[in-house]
Structure 1
Amino acid sequence: MTNWINIAQAAKEWVLEAGQRIRDSLNEELLIETKSDANDLVTNIDKDTEKFFIEKIKQYNLEFKIMGEEGFGDRIVSLDGVIWILDPIDGTMNFVHQKRNFAISLAVYENGEGRLGIIYDVMADDFYHVIPGSGAFLNDIRLNTLKDVTLEKAIIGLNATWITPNKRIDYQILSPLVKTVRGTRSYGAAAIELAYVATGRLDGYITMRLNPWDYAAGKLLIEEVGGKTSNLKGEPLSLLNPSSLLVGGPTVYDEIRENYLKDYQGK
């Protein structure tokens, strides 16, 4: 039988060690490459951090499978078994340009069921963690159940690049929503924005496209404190393929789904 308490402790130690390694690298010259486009960055530190986790996880148990953003893990085609889902640096552009507002995101699923989620805001030294059914925490402080907030009083996480006329369906959905809410914020790191929803710093978060390693841990944090998660059509999030994303406290989530996304036909 898998001992999740021991795995959680080992994972915490690895994440904190990886965070220190990243902080130690800040004065080094970065090797920066692009991936899907000129704004999709990856550095040697992203790659080195993913390799660090893979080595630690495989040493712990060779049967564990790993899905990592930088592609050094396993080829995952099903959710069978124990799968670690990793983003070594979520918010690489922030890492490169700001040296802050980036996070390590690590989640563990067993046969599709969440067992462990960790988001570590490296520069703030904020360690968000959850074992589903046992509470969600920021460092050693247990997170409260999310408060009920109406959309008019909500602050939601939203990247302004989605609200452009050339992206017609996004513009038609999101422009009216922005006019309704109290305010919007964008931090440039999905994992941090999801952690902020779990803590109540944001009341919701919406985006048109993310990968499983961006939201696998944040999903577990938000659900543990009573929030809702899905794609924009209200379907469960995929852990195998990219997805749109809507998360929030129950009222904010329901109001966005019913009033703005009821007829959404995207992914």
Structure 2
Amino acid sequence: MSPWALLLVIVSAVTHATWNLLSKRSSQADGVVFVWLVAVVSAVVWAPLFAGFLLVTGDVPGWRDLVAIAGSTTLHLCYFVLLQRGYGSGDLSLVYPVARGTGPMLASLVAVLFLGERPSVANVAGIVLVGAGVFLMGGDAARGGLGAVLPGVVIGLFIAAYTVWDSQVVGPFAVAPIALIYLGEVGRALVLAPVVLGGRRELVAPVWREHRWRIAGAAVLIFVSYLLVLVAFTLAPVTVVAPAREISVLIAVVLGGRLLAEGDLARRLLAAGVILGGVVAIALS
């Protein structure tokens, strides 16, 4: 992995773990309303940046691009809604590692089997270490129960799906990362609008009043985090970027243990050492 790609992945990991902390702290609110408000705020906040991108580059997405972006929007919508529900019943340091562990391993497997990528021995070892570490970290299901583990696994499936799909969208399809992310936010806001304004309208105001700063923070950090990852996809293959960004698991476990008092910090930090070993192996491959 190039130094620039590694730097992008590390910064993305920090921002990713942070917005997940904000989501966890908002998990008792209605999940669909929360996801919709985040998408709406993101669409408003980042509109000037997207408009500037269009004016400077003239790179207006065509129909082929919009179809690819629609596929990404669908996968991300399922991911965000399931993630918010998972946090409603489980610890950040349980749901997050299980989800993030399932995702990159499946993404790397798909990339090798169907996209023609050929990882080195060190790369394979790194993927195995990352996977082993995150599953060891989420291995104690007693605190969150089965209801926390299963959503994590399902969330991981969608992480794998959107990771592979989006890597192709910004790679072979050559869709600009900023267009993919911004139009994805707009798409989620539009798709969820009838659901929220039709049956959950009365929940919008109270959720906004109680969680507006977390909503705004998530809207900014989600965009930044994934933009960095998509740029990294243009500098390194999926088998390198997808597992390496899982250093965010270490950050999320520390946040969960220190700020949310979820416990079991020593064991989960030990497991994080395994993850770091995998990240080093991937970075040096």
Please say whether Structure 1 and Structure 2 have the same fold, judged by a TM-score greater than 0.5: no
Structure richer in strand, relative to its length? 1
TM-score range, shorter chain: 0.3 to 0.5
Higher relative contact order (CA 8 A, sep 6+): 2
Structure richer in helix, relative to its length? 2
The TM-score with structure 1 as length reference comes to 0.32
